[in-house]
Amino acid sequence: MSEYQRRVAEQRAQVAALRKSMVAEASQNLQASVISNTKTVSPKRPTKPKEQAVATRSSMRIASKPKAAYKEDEKPAFMSERRSHTATRNSQRSRKTINYNEDDDDQEDAISLTRNEIVMLDSEYYKARWSTTMDNWYKWVPSQPLPDREASGTFYFATHPNFTPNKSPEEVFREGAFGGTYWAPYWSAAMNVNVINDYTEMPDEWTQGVDVERYLINDGYDRTVNKFQVRAGQSIAEWENNGWIKLDLDIRGWMQWYTRFFRGRRSGDDARQITRWAKCAGPTGRWRQKLLKDYMQAGIRDVTEGVSADSGVSLAVHQTMHHWAVELRQEDVDAFWERFDV
């Protein structure tokens, strides 16, 4: 059993115990409520039948609409009020089976969970450790210096030399990514919390001169914001639903992890995120290989000729690579062609 499987197994056991205690407590509360609210009615004065009340339900989302958050003491602006569950609703819809891994070939550590189980596991597990989770979110301390940058533009991280992106987080956002929505206010179903204004965690120089409302907190996906003017990728809600986000560290997923790793934080999720990066955009990553094959099939040897809409090279894959902090360089195209030139 892998470390990841062991952790999930422990969470399942803890949640099972939590469910049992919650059910017992709810039963006791209900019984006490019935007893305390029971009234004795005199048979000499028959009560007038009352019109049956129609059950109403107010929207929790509307009722808990996030208020403006302000920095108080050490509480950051992106900390908004968490909602408490007042009732449990059983869905009549069939439950979707979710695979915790992003890649289909990662069968060794694949764990099949229903969406309800994912929400229960993550929400209850981390809610019980809320203070620790908050510390992980915004009280981390860098342990490494900023990376060096080679002449080719590739970044070098001494602790992880095989992690070789060539775009900084600042460049990714300045040039246009995620349709401008990456740092938009976000409701996390698993963590039961609204996340707002956390883009302010980034250094001021990263966002200086940037149209924040359009490039960072856009309330709707705008493909014209993207560097390659095309739509690419999935929403954070979809990433969370698929179990690709380690909620107790980086609630927005990969790019938030990268902004922190770039600035010197090291965490227990580094190996997983770097493995994901390698499989997608690393030297042998599937998106990089797809892009290079597009260049060859189109007969293009100049990297700059493959970024136009009529080049035959997928701009969506270019944009996806950009989201993974990688830009295809001329040396990449040259090396790929050399493998096939006779």
Which tens digits make up the pLDDT trace of 57-115? 333 333 333 333 323 333 444 444 444 443 334 444 444 443 333 343 343 333 344 44
pLDDT of residue 182: 97
Give domain status of residue 109, yes or no. Answer: yes
Residue 142's φ and ψ, nearest 5 degrees, are -65, 140
**pLDDT one-digit tens code per residue, 189-223:** 888 888 999 999 999 999 999 999 999 999 999 99
Percent over 90 (pLDDT), the chain = 50
Torsion sign across C-alpha atoms 10, 15, 18, 19: negative
**pLDDT one-digit tens code per residue, 316-339:** 999 999 999 999 999 999 999 998
Report the number of distinct structural domains present in the chain: 1
Give domain status of residue 288, yes or no. Answer: no
Residue type for 304, please? T
Residue 191 Cα distances to 2, 13, 27, 184, angstroms: 25, 19, 25, 17
Domain carrying residue 191:
59-84+94-268
Check if the beta carbon of residue 319 is closer than 8 Å to that of residue 286: no
Over residues 134-149, the mean pLDDT reads 91
Model confidence, pTM: 0.68
List Cβ neighbours of 85 (8 Å cut-off, separation of 6 or more). Answer: 192
Over residues 119-139, the mean pLDDT reads 70
Give domain status of residue 191, yes or no. Answer: yes
Give domain status of residue 273, yes or no. Answer: no
Give domain status of residue 20, yes or no. Answer: no
Give domain status of residue 282, yes or no. Answer: no
Give domain status of residue 306, yes or no. Answer: no
Residue labelled with tokens 């979710």: 98
Give domain status of residue 205, yes or no. Answer: yes
Q: How many other C-beta atoms can be found within 10 angstroms of the C-beta atom of residue 93?
A: 6
Least confident segment among 82-91, 127-136, 166-175 = 82-91
pLDDT of residue 104: 39
Q: Could you give the CA distance from residue 155 to residue 163 in angstroms, rounded to a whole number?
A: 8
